[in-house]
Amino acid sequence: MVTLYEGAAFDSSNYLATLLDWELDPDATAGERGSFAWRAAAVCEGVMSSVQDGVSEGTTDAWPRLASGGMATPGARTDGVRVFLWYGPHHDREVDAVLSLTPIGLSELLAPE
């Protein structure tokens, strides 16, 4: 669960465990549309957008700010093993990202068998 507070006041929450309930395409290669990796990246990008909205609304500042001015766009991609997350001028590639997060290993998201 990712929860956003403004000071001590609750703002919003994203419950990520629902990712595990989604029906996956058994024929999708890791990272392709319908695969667990692709869905994990999509959920992460949505959470980043939600956090960005909360920070920007709470501070009334564009966050994070691009070097050229204006607000960066959240982005995510997967290599089928990890999810890479960033804020930058492009949502589909990390080029010129102004903020990059530590990649998330997909094995960390799966329940042990």
Q: For the segment 33-84, what is each residue's pLDDT rounded down to a tens digit?
A: 888 888 889 888 988 998 999 889 888 999 999 989 999 999 999 999 999 9
Establish if 62 belongs to a structural domain. yes
Query: Which domain does 79 fall in, by range?
Result: 2-108
Establish if 29 belongs to a structural domain. yes
25 — pLDDT class (breaks 50, 70, 90): confident
Establish if 54 belongs to a structural domain. yes
Please determine, for residue 110, whether its predicted confidence score (pLDDT) is greater than 60.
yes
Count of H helices and E strands in the chain? 1, 5
Count the Cβ atoms, other than its own, within 10 Å of residue 62: 14
Please determine, for residue 17, whether its predicted confidence score (pLDDT) is greater than 70.
no
Please determine, for residue 18, whether its predicted confidence score (pLDDT) is greater than 70.
no
Establish if 113 belongs to a structural domain. no
How many domains in the chain?
1
Establish if 51 belongs to a structural domain. yes
> How many percent of the chain have pLDDT more than 70?
91
Establish if 37 belongs to a structural domain. yes
Which residues fall within 8 angstroms of residue 106, CB to CB, at 6 or more apart? 36, 37, 40, 78, 80, 81, 82, 83
